[in-house]
Structure 1
Amino acid sequence: MLLSRGFKSIVTTWLAGLLALLPLTLTLALVTWIVSLLNRFAGPSTTVGQLFAALGYPFVESPGLAYLLGTLILIVAIYPLGLAVQLGLKGPLSKLLKLTVERIPLLGKLYGLTDRFVGLLDQKENADIAAMSPVWCFFGGDGVAVLALLPNPEPVVINGRRYLAVLVPTAPIPVGGGLLYMPVEWIKPAQMGMDTFTSIYVSMGITPPPYPPADSRPTERVD
């Protein structure tokens, strides 16, 4: 009996230490995932990474040092661009990009799509994105709840039934996702702003939505 109690006490103490380390562990895991994602798309062995290295080759010969130096040069070069945006030149710069990049077939369409999604993080300057409203999508009418964006409150008729287009972002980087057409009666307004919506996705659900825990969904429809 004493041995059992002693073992239980050891396990309880160990679990307490584990719980104390859990937030730090999750934070490090998230940072590792982000670093891995960046390395996959912009690491030294990728096409983007080779472009970074090309900026550093005039100064150093080592591929690794050239990549690091090229990345540093790019980071420093972005700073004047940020100053230009803060000085009110974002509009002219955006128009310049639209006159050049958006005229290129395929690339222009991809740029336009990503530009609209990046606008989720800049509501003040993008009225069309700011006009989107967060909604809850209940699959089957009362099944799985998905937090999404409603870009247009006007329904479309498909096979005699009214549907609404909703954008379901991905976490933790809500600049991609899927476009779904869901029955009007499956969609309910979410009582939150865009800041709260973004924080929920960026935190991967750690930030809870401001929604009643009981089944008290709004009865009005998003028509």
Structure 2
Amino acid sequence: MRKYFVTGLLILVPLAITLWVLNLIITTMDQSLLLLPERWRPAVLFGYNLPGAGAVLTVLIIFVTGLLTRNFIGKRLVYAWELLLTRIPIVSSIYSSVKQVSDTLFSSSGNAFRKAMLVQYPRQGSWTIAFLTGVPGGDVKNHLVGDYISVYVPTTPNPTSGFFLMMPRSDAIELDMTVDEALKYIVSMGVVSPEYVVAASKNLKAVPPQI
């Protein structure tokens, strides 16, 4: 009985957590329906709510925004909009900071969060996984002697919080693993090693679909 119960947990727990995360994302994105006039909302048009309609609307808004801002007129409008935001106190500092971070993260030419590193933290002899975010800038680099890098050390099992460190490049080891593999290793608290992730993905591809 105990073996059957554990087997059931191993199958249902990952599925339940996956469904819970998807439901949380879709429910959050469904809030975008509030942007529509009330008479255009699914609850009014069809008489009931359509789960996921907000997610489709969110993706559509992002796609159309990107499409419109790729031409000359769109770029000028974005420039005027950003110029207006930079003149508003408090809003300008928040918007500028967020934009710089997003431009760095989503830039195809940048290296931010594209390399997994092995660093000693929080003391010598203790190792953890970090992600390369760039190099020190501003007045900070004037006080650092040598070749330094900036890294983000995530916490486990929640990698959205962590620590920002600047250290000599020679003290960090670049790992031969993808960022996804490193994140899975961190979230699982070291239980799911990168070798297991690769082997599991290969096994899933090798199993023929059941009809």
Q: Scaled by the length of structure 2, what TM-score is found?
A: 0.56
Distance 2:104 2:150 in 1: 16
Runs (5+) with no aligned partner, structure 2: 86-91, 196-211
Q: 1:30 deviation in Å?
A: 3.8
Q: In the comparison of the two structures, how many residue pairs are matched? A: 179
Is 2:193 aligned against 1:208?
A: yes
Give the letter for the 1:152 counterpart: V
1:197 counterpart residue number: 179
Q: After superposition, where does 1:128-167 map in structure 2 within 5 Å?
A: 128-129=110-111, 132-139=114-121, 140-152=123-135, 156=141, 158=143, 163-167=148-152
Query: Percent identity over the alignment?
Result: 16
- In 2, are the aligned partners of 1:54 and 1:70 still within 8 Å (CA)? no
Q: After superposition, where does 1:75-154 map in structure 2 within 5 Å?
A: 75-76=56-57, 78-79=59-60, 82=63, 91-92=70-71, 95=75, 99-100=79-80, 102-103=82-83, 104=85, 105=92, 106-117=94-105, 119=106, 126-129=108-111, 132-139=114-121, 140-152=123-135
Q: After superposition, where does 1:156-195 map in structure 2 within 5 Å?
A: 156=141, 158=143, 163-168=148-153, 178-184=163-169, 186-192=171-177
Give the letter for the 2:79 counterpart: L
Distance 1:27 1:169 in 2: 25
2:7 counterpart residue number: 19
Q: 1:148 deviation in Å?
A: 1.8
Structure number with greater Rg is 1
Q: Secondary structure at the match of 2:193?
A: coil
1:213 counterpart residue number: none
Give the letter for the 1:58 counterpart: R
Root mean square deviation of aligned Cα: 4.8
Runs (5+) with no aligned partner, structure 1: 1-12, 120-124, 211-223
Change over 3 Å in CA distance of 1:184–1:28 after alignment to 2: same
Q: 1:126 deviation in Å?
A: 0.8
Distance 2:136 2:144 in 1: 19
Change over 3 Å in CA distance of 1:198–1:161 after alignment to 2: same
